[in-house]
Every structure is written in C-alpha cells, then in structure tokens.
Structure 1
Amino acid sequence: MDTKITILQAILIGLFYWFRGCRFGYTFGVVTIFSPLPAALWVGIVLGDIPTAMKVGAALQLIYLGLLVPGGAAPSDPTIAALVSCSVAVVSKTNINAAVALAVPIGLLGVQINNIEYIINGFLASKTDKNVEEADTRGMFRTSVIYPSAYKLILYAIPMTLVLYFGAAQIGGLINMIPQTILNGLNLAGAVLPAVGFAIIVQQIGKKSLLPYFLAAFFLEQYSGIPTLAIALGGLFLAYLHITFTSDSSKAAKEA
C-alpha cells in the first residue's frame, strides 16, 4: 500500500539535493556523497526504510560506476536519479528493477537543471570578475557564496521537495498500475542496466593487462563465497604489488 511522504521528509531530501547542487568539497564529493549510494542512504534514513533504499541505490551505483564528467558535461545526474527512484520505491513498495528503470529518464532531466545552473553561474562569474577588479571582497563573497547558495535553493531544493511531496506516491501508483507485460520489460531493463555500468568501467580500464584482475575479482565474488570486503582488500594488496613490480622493471629497463 502506498504511503505519503510528509512535508518534513520531502524538505530533508530536497536539502540533500541542494547540498549536492552547492558542490561543497566537489572533488571528493563527486565520488562519495554525490553518488547514488550515499543519496540512497539519506533517503532510507529520512523515510525509515534503509534496506529498500540501499537495494535501489546499489543497483544505480553499478549503472553510474563508470560515469565521467569531463568539463562538467555530465550525461546524467545520478543524485536526482537516486533520490527520486529510491523515494518512489520506499513509499510505494515498487519493484526494485522498475524503480531502477525509472531512474534513467529522471537522471537525464537532472542534466537540464544542471545546464540552467551553468548559465546562471556564467552571469555570476562576470560579476565576480568585476568585484575582483574593484577589490570588493564583500561583493566577491556575495557573488561566489551567498547568491549561488540562495538561487540553488530555488533551482534544486524546492522542485525536489514539491515533486516528492506531491508526486512520489502517485508515480509509484502509476508504476503499479502498468500492465504486467510492460512491467516485465521494465524489470528486464532495470536488471540489465547495471551491466552497462560494468561495461563502461571495463572500457575505461583500457589496458588489456589489467582486465584479468577485474575478471578474477568478479568470479571470486560470484563463486568463492569470500566476503566482498576481503576481496577488495586483497585487490588493494595485488594492486600495490603490481605497481611496485611493474615500476621497478620499467626503471631497470631504462637504466639498461
């Protein structure tokens, strides 16, 4: 049965999206707090169902595993995708794969919001340059900190709050009303999408000499029964050995 998100819960999730829009600690935050899993954890805490939110977040994390943002040109926005799809899955008890499939168009919509932000930032940047020329420190603080934080409340937090408060349960209800044949297709798409993320990250690895490590870790995790954390720690150890020995051999070759 669908439940309704309270206005306080919607505001708290909206503020997370505002925090992402402000990009505090951008370099570290892109791969940590702004990725799907932390967003899913926040949704789970706010809505009181961490397991469901984290299941959706984990699937989305795989989809966006190889996401690159060259020059700020993001192909999708994983944060809004996670916040909305996890909220829909929690309040409506929607099938997880269907919620994952829902995240893809939502992520594309988030990119358009980002583009609006870049336009506004360009205007503020010109104002900041003028303040720098005039040595106006207060003006610089306003145009680089105060104004961006304020307009991003309107651009990010308020729309997210309204969408979740008025629409999360309705979206989930619509998904639950979809005929089973179409829903099976959504479930299949949601199950396949994480493989796309794996394919992107494998493509980024690039070097054929590194692919055996990737495949070995995959088969170990699937068939050995060894905990994922143990495999990850073993991978760090092997990576250290690989870098150590390959760098030594390259140095020796240069010296010879």
Structure 2
Amino acid sequence: MAYVSLSTRDLNVLEKIQDPEYDPARMVQVDTSLPKDPNFKDQALYEKVAQLEREIILSIQQLEVANAKSEAQGATGAEETIQGYRNCVSQLGGLIQEYPEYASARNNRAQAIRRLVGDSMLISGSQQLPQALIRDIDDAGRLQMAETALSDLDRAISLLTPTTPQTKVSQNVARTLSNAHTQRAAIYHMTSKLMESNTLAVPQGRREGSWSKLDFEENASRDFAMGGRYGNEIAKALAVSTNPTAKLCGQMVREALKKEYGPAYSA
C-alpha cells in the first residue's frame, strides 16, 4: 500500500473541507487552569450555582430513566415526563432570572425545550418529530418555546465567546459553547429540511424570520463548524454535509489532490 505524506499546508486544506471557515491561526485554545466561568469572579458562588443546576439536570436524567422504563413495559408515562420537563424548565428559568450571566443554565434550558417540542419549533403545524415529548402543540405555545430556546442559545454564546481568537478558554466554557452552537445548528438544519413543504413561523422580531432555505443551511453549517471547533466531532463532520457550498468546494479540493498525488491519495 502506498502512503502519502501531506504537508502542513495540505492538512490545513483538508481541514478547510470539514470547516469552511477554518483558520489555523484561530484555533480554540483550552486552558484547564482558568476559572470554569469567566462571568463569575467569586468561585464559591459559581460552585453554589453550578450545584443547583446539577440538581435540576439530575431530575431530568431521572425523568428519562423513568420514561424509558415505562416505554419498555408498554406503558405510557408521557404526561408525567412532560410535566416533569416543564418543571425543570421552570426551575432553570428561576436560576437564570437570579443569575442571568450563567450561560450553562441557558444552554440546558434550551436543550430541555428541544426535548419537549423537537427541532421543528420554527415550523408551523408540522408533525412533531419522534424525539419530541409533546405531540400536539398550538402555534402560540410553540412560538413561545422557540423564542426562549433560541434566545437562550444566542445569549449563552455571546456570554462565553472569547473577545479574540487568541483568548484561551476553560474546558467548561469550551463544552458549553460547543453544545450551544450545536443545538442552534440542529434547529436551523431541521428548519431548512422542512420549510419547503411547510410554513415557516418564527417568533416576531427574530432575524430568522427573513431567512431563506439557503440562509438556514449556511447558518446551520456555520454553527456546526463552531461546535466542532469547541470539541464536538460529530458537529464538525456535519458542518460539511449541511453546507452545499462546502460540499462542492470539498469535492473540488479532493479531485485536485488526487491529480497532484495520484491514485494513492484518498480522503
């Protein structure tokens, strides 16, 4: 078997295929010695808030375990699970109200809302996705949840995104940013898939209300790429598959490399 030794430049080109906005000079730098959340100067207070959040997340995990057992036994515990999730969303809301700069709680509230209504939250009257707990929801309720989820993700990202590419971040910050970008990407991606055969319905005043299918695809790809940069390998791979421009560019680059290195090259 022939092996090809690629230069740093070639490797950067291949990385560009996966992430259209890849720039080796802008790679995320994680520093485990940094405070877990830069918005909390008092680490004792941070630990207190994080513990409150962990207790809510534990409740969500217990809900999922109970729901899985009910389904395995052929029973339906959907209503109890839905109410439990609503309670957790409310508790996270209380935590956010008291500590509005705690980005992790916003990220987790958005995730809980996605579990309730699914990623088709920007589509009016669409059939709920299998992962959505609520099977029937009116547009008013859906719009309210969509507004909360997207606003939470926007705010979580803005709270933690470094001011410069060279600014180092803690492991916790990288994880939260990865999750927030990936969650927003999932919503945008699902919207792009459903909007052609359904009616787009976006909360009033949000930028997505004027977006086309291509806008949703490009923004989904961009968020998946950012999720990948902060550590989510699945999001990194999805960045290409959700971006038609990137797929075309990737194919062209692969063909060029094959011509340069011959049949031995494979990407």
Instruction: Report the TM-score, using the length of structure 2 for normalisation.
Output: 0.28
Scaled by the length of structure 1, the TM-score of the pair is: 0.29
| CA radius of gyration, larger in | 1
Bigger helix share: 1
